[in-house]
Amino acid sequence: MIGEALSMLNSWIKEFGMLSEGWRAGILIFMLVFATATAAFIASRVIVALENKFSATRNLWDDAILHAARKPVVAFVWLQGVYWAAEVAHHFSDAEIFKANGTLLQIGFVWVLVWAMLRLVKEAEKILVSPMKMRKPMDYTTVNAISKLLRAVVIITAVLTALQTLGFSISGVLAFGGVGGIAVGFAAKDLLANFFGGFIIHLDRPFKVGDWVRSPDRNIEGTVEHIGWRLTTIRTFDKRPLYVPNAAFTTIAVENPSRMTNRRIFENIGIRYADVHSMRKIVDEIRNMLKNHEDIAADETLIVNFLAFNASSLDIMVYTFTKTTQWVRFHEVKEDVLLKISDIIESHGAEVAFPTRTLHLPDGVKVSGDNLKRSASEPASEGGREKDSGTQAEKQNDNSR
């Protein structure tokens, strides 16, 4: 069909007899390129108009399909136009490069199709995780893992199709891949371990993007920013990025504080031994205060008891849980609880204990100011006696002379 149209157009131009074969080829190629540009512009405008029209509907998927297909459709129009222009050039020239037009067209079509599918997967991912577009948005980590898997399937299928189009045997390629995969597996075992570690993370979902995680086995603590197939990016609390290979998460324990249901307040508060008579009332009032506190979870374990006779205090154990799990809000609640406990202790005339020491002296031993003065004057009097004795000895020596 294309050949017949070119022959008719060429014969029509040739009838004028004023143009050489090169000029005729140039005019035909220019007309094809101009027609291709016009068709691409029209196709782009039509799809944009459809996007604006369907954006007013509640269906989100038609918008995603149109947005994903707009650029690939324009690329497909240009691909066809370039192919026809190359066919015109091949009609006037016997160059070897133009013999690959059909193969390049098939590979280009595969590329355009893959591009459209990858864009569609990306648009679907945006819709599924968006709280503005979905009533119950899906977990970002799960959707991201599925989209990565779909992209990998599309790309691998496209590569195999392109190889088959170029004349390579897919069975031979797969056989070579099976043999070469063993060598690659030994050479890149760490890379494969990280890949399967990422797959396990997406499968078991011990954490997701945005979770606060930490490990008691490693110095790892922070907020998860990205979960890749090789690395997981964690932003530490001092705002430094920490890149952890996924294989590490298969061998270490990981704690996810973001999934805690409550936060715990666990304190031992001591009062003086002199306030032992107020202990029961203080304990009862603290327990009632916690039961009626609006930020304390009453359905969780709540313990307020006299705990032990400590070295310098009588200890009261306070064990309870807050409703909030937010770090900043938790400390605000804890501050309020501790201040109210302090007020309860003071209301009974008691005091919070601190380390003290009592010194007991035996009966009959007194320490007074006179004794202190006497002990301070004794060295001087002894020196005076020594001085007097020395003077008497000198006098005796004088008399002997």
Q: Write out pLDDT tens, residues 125-140.
A: 887 777 777 777 776 7
- Of 39-53, 54-68, 225-239, 314-328, the one with minimum mean pLDDT is 54-68
Structure tokens at 102: 């059909």
User: Under DSSP, is residue 56 helix (H, G, I), strand (E, B) or coil?
Assistant: coil
The whole-number average pLDDT for the span 142-171 is: 76
pLDDT top residue among 102 and 342: 342
The amino acid at 305 = N
- Output the pLDDT for position 380: 44
Which of the four pLDDT bands, split at 50, 70 and 90, describes residue 85? confident
- Output the pLDDT for position 4: 59
- 110 within 8 A of 155, measured Cβ to Cβ: no
Please tell me the distance from the alpha carbon of residue 186 to that of residue 193, in angstroms, as a whole number: 11
CA nearest 114: which of 168, 69, 74? 69
Listed in sequence order, the residues at least 6 apart from 94 whose beta carbon sits closer than 8 Å to its beta carbon are none
Q: Where do we find the tokens 């269906």?
A: 59
- 246 within 8 A of 195, measured Cβ to Cβ: yes
Cα angle 270, 272, 273; round to 5: 115
Q: What is the pTM of this model?
A: 0.54
Please tell me the distance from the alpha carbon of residue 113 to that of residue 161, in angstroms, as a whole number: 12
- Output the pLDDT for position 65: 80
Is 67 a residue whose pLDDT tops 90? no
Which of the four pLDDT bands, split at 50, 70 and 90, describes residue 382? very low
CA nearest 130: which of 121, 139, 120? 139
- Output the pLDDT for position 290: 95
Cα angle 314, 319, 320; round to 5: 145
CA count, 13 A, side-chain hemisphere, 118: 17
How many of the other CB atoms lie within 10 Å of CB of 134? 12
Please tell me the distance from the alpha carbon of residue 27 to that of residue 14, in angstroms, as a whole number: 12
Structure tokens at 74: 């324009």
- Output the pLDDT for position 92: 59
Q: Choose the most confident range, by mean pLDDT, from 38-52, 87-101, 208-222.
A: 208-222
Question: What is the number of residues in the chain?
Answer: 401
pLDDT top residue among 54 and 370: 54
Cα angle 128, 47, 49; round to 5: 100
pLDDT in tens, 217-233: 888 999 999 888 788 99
Please tell me the distance from the alpha carbon of residue 214 to that of residue 254, in angstroms, as a whole number: 6
The whole-number average pLDDT for the span 63-79 is: 81
How many of the other CB atoms lie within 10 Å of CB of 122? 14
pLDDT top residue among 353 and 147: 353
Average per-residue pLDDT for the chain:
77
pLDDT top residue among 27 and 287: 287
- Output the pLDDT for position 338: 96
pLDDT in tens, 236-279: 999 999 999 988 888 899 999 989 999 999 999 999 999 999 99
Is 53 a residue whose pLDDT tops 50? yes
Is 372 a residue whose pLDDT tops 60? no
